[in-house]
Structure 1
Amino acid sequence: MRALGLFPAVVTAFAAGLMLMGPFAGPAIAAQSSGEPPVVILVLDTSRSMSDSDIVTATDAAMNFARSIPGDVRVGAIAFDTDAELVVHPTTSRGDLRDGLAGQTSGGRTSLYDAVSLGVSTLDQLSGSGERRLVVLSDGGDSSSNTTLNATATQLATSGIAADVVAFKYGTKNTAPLRKLAGAAGGRVVPVENASQLSSAFGDIAAEATQRSDGGALSWLPDWAQMSQWSWQLWAVIGMTFVAVLLLVLLIFGPGGPKDTRKRGLDQIARYGNQPEPAAAQQVEETSVGKAAVAWTENILRTRGWEEKLAERLDIAGLKIKPAEWTLLQVCAGIVAAALLILLGAPVLIGVPLGPALAFTVTVLFVRVRTSRRRKAFGEQLPDVLQLVAGSLQSGFSLAQALDGVVREETQPSAGEFSRAIAETRIGVELEDAMERVATRMASEDLRWVVMAIRIQREVGGNLAEVLLTTVKTMRERAQTRRQVRALSAEGRLSAYILVALPIVLGAVFFTIRPEYMRPLYTTLPGVLMLVGGVLFTALGALWMKKLVKVEV
């Protein structure tokens, strides 16, 4: 049955929703499987081998690390010398963390293993927490712990708590104990040779912890075993994506879509002959869903008075699509954009309004670009059209017959626009008024002057063909001057494009290859102010250069 033709569309839409979930399923589940945010404990060496200035630098780097991770992540701190002490219990308050780390001084021996063991015990006592992790900083081997290296590594592996270790000023020292601690549960060792590199090292650890996923050859597939643990936000994203893709499939491949144009024409011809009733019934059965969505949207647009204006904008842009279908496409694009933003990590309260806003902006810009290109093509064709009209007038044809000859040439968009004008004259509209409407639709000042010349010729008489030929000559000379000016200003325009694109491209490159280098731009107040200032000055410079290279002809 043809009614089953919708089944592949439904399956395709649902599969597309899950496929969109694929690249992000691993990290999303890892973060939400327990329903609680992660917990991190910073383990800092304050033994006498660490100078007071090194401890201050390490404390500042640890605070930058805490500020760079999400605010709902609880962060605690352990300071160790001869003894290990939990100075800050895991908390979301960065102020409490700062106060707990303040005033640490160097002294005593190094009880590294005891400190790591204390961190594991503290994390084990926390109930209802998400991923648990230790970030350890030490500048030397253990010298006073009661716990052994093997026991500590076993404790890490048993608890499943990863430890990222910053090996500070180790140089040629033996880092095997640190590697054993880090490797017990999937952590890593980050060597740092001077205090100035501490912030970068902590930033790397924060970035890796935020972006970590399981990966693998089939990592793009969703984790079916944990689907029952997905949160309502993820199911909402899947549902929105499913609905959006289903509507897109119905609009594109269903009746009324671009591939159904030929079939509609054949159906119109077939109406004059005998047509079996079952086929009509199958057609109605297959199109009920798509027709219902389009009809409902048409009713809303018509009620609010938007249908006529939107239809005119789409017609000027040369888009052969109904206003209701275009609106449905915008809605689908907005749903997909919101789903992608949420999957990329944006909060729901930001992704839901921002996605439709971006989709609406892109679709509006698309219509405007199409309109601009169509009007530009009309302006370029106008001199040839007027010359053809003048030749027809010299041959004895009337103005209406001359314009009909332009329509028969079928050079778009001029043929379509003048065909509209001729159609209006057949229902009683004056030819000058119809051409004036074409000039308004195409934003053509040249055509407005031509219409004015036709009106004057109608009132006082004269040779309209000669007037049109003179107008064509003027228009072509002006077009030649415009092209010459554009060629002379090409170097300035190219310089403007490069100067505007340079900071954007370089910023994107640095965000990709060195995110920790760019992180202060959006995590600190001076950085945000610099970023906003840079955007404003770049926009101001772009407007200034546009005015410099734009020459009106």
Structure 2
Amino acid sequence: MRRVTLAAAGAALAALVVSPLAGSQGSAPTLREAPGSAFPDRSYTLLLPERRALNAGQLFLTENGGSVTGLAVEAPGTDTGAILLVDASNSMRGAPIAGAMAAARAFMAQRAGALPVAVIAYNPEITVLSEFTTDKGELAAAVASAPALSEGTHIYDALIKAAELAEEEGLPRATAVLLSDGHRRGVQATQAEALEALTNANVRVISVGLRSAQYDPQTLSGVARQTGGTYVESATPADLEPIFRGISAQLSNEYLVTYRSLLPANVAATVSAGVAGLPPATAKYTTPTIDVKPRGTFDRTFVDKTILSPWLMVFVVLSVLVLLVFAVLTAVDVRSRSMRRRMAQYVNIPTEEESLLRRAEVTSMLAEQAQRRVGGNRWWQSFERDVELAGFRATALTIAGWAVVGAILVSILAALVLQSLGGLLVGLFVPVMARFFVSIRVSKMRAAFGEQLPDNLEVLAGALRAGHSLVGAMNVMVNGAAEPSKTEFRRVLQDEQLGVPLDEALQIMARRMESADIEQVALVTRLAREAGGNTAEVLDRVVENIRGRQELMRLVAVLTAQGRLARWILTALPLCLVGFLLVINPDWLDPLFETGVGRASLVLWVFLLVTGTYILNKITKIVV
């Protein structure tokens, strides 16, 4: 008699504490927003006080008194499931765990046959007593006896496991029925991690708290509130059975109602669901605010913006003009070279007319004022000389023209890749790189000439001792010399055949090759022409000086190698770091380009980088 009284009291208590869970015991249906509901596609759970067949035609649903579209009703157990989570910690020892298992068996007895259920017992270990199933025998076996108890209550780990089971089963939505005394113990996942897993799996939590000495309702109520579920509190283990029976009845009589709302944005909505013979159930929500900022008829792509940009038009016009000028100058340059003049470069005995032309050319090279007659053309004259010295088959005009073509193509490609008109500036680096490569090749040619010079002068001195004249000895030297010395000394001999004094021809070569050692040789030949003397002996002394100077230069190069290497490393390190950041996460550098302080820092960084490189170059570059 007393047991019957306690059961009735427990049922009454459950009904008073949380009326939604006792909806099956009342006469009014309830309407609650379902997990995963959005806008305008809305989802609600409709709990009826009794089991009955219900379809969309038997349900009258309105929003603010107006109709909706796409109304659909899913029966209980359709695309949904329930997960029982039973606390198996030491705090549940004795009557609590016995009451919990009795409540689980009552849940199974009240369950609708189509509702799949899974059972989990949790402490520090998460034990799945039963996967999702509708088999009565399997579910009865899962809750027939109490699980093994252990110290620790990992509530959040158990909820994450429940979400994983629902996702593995492929359920669009599910309900986790969580039973515990509410006191978390042990190291486990955080509440945020558990809520994220439950939200992703569309799992709501109905928490049942059992009062105990360590009772802490905050954990259970917080999880239930934030997942759209409810929280029930049980004073004694005996009260758990009617509570779980009511939860099972709720899930067995709960229909999923979906529809599409026709309401505008930012409107308070009242949803009313009516079933014949029952009072209507209502719920309220506010439609979200929609971003309706005017964006034009369409958003142009970057390619469209680039094509329509006036800057691109200016760039194309200038590029076409430059290419036309390049074509005209190339044609004029080719026509201006007569067959006689081009063949004269390979003839050792030129005509009198060509001799006069060559003499005038040499005179203009020796005259400083003639060489600098137009200040703006000095850079072009220097470039032409470097192209000739570097041994390129193409002329300076051809190389410059192809550099311009490459700059145009690179500019357009960079603008498309970077999706910015600022990418057009990237093409400016192409002519700079072309000039840099020409300079590098000229430096290598001059370095090779300097290395070959002592051996060539020794051959020259030996030929003089053998009885040759100075010009004849130089012919002997040219025949056995390697490039680039052979070509340069042959030019000297051609100039001498054209009537240019040998010392002046050597001065021209000294300027072309930027060699102070050749200036010494020119001085020796001038002394030999004006005063005579033992030229071979003097050349031997010059060779000794040159070799000593070269040895000193090699020693300096070795001693400054570490500094030169440090210069390149310190210069390349920040550039490589920026490139690495652009590859792994370009957003990290956004403040550097999008804020005033960032741009100022970027300019300062470039200035310090260039200044540091220049200073290190001056420190390690020692002139011998």
TM-score, normalising length from structure 2? Answer: 0.42
* Higher helix content, 1 or 2: 1
Q: Please identify the structure whose Cα radius of gyration is greater.
A: 2
* Higher strand content, 1 or 2: 2
TM-score, normalising length from structure 1? Answer: 0.47
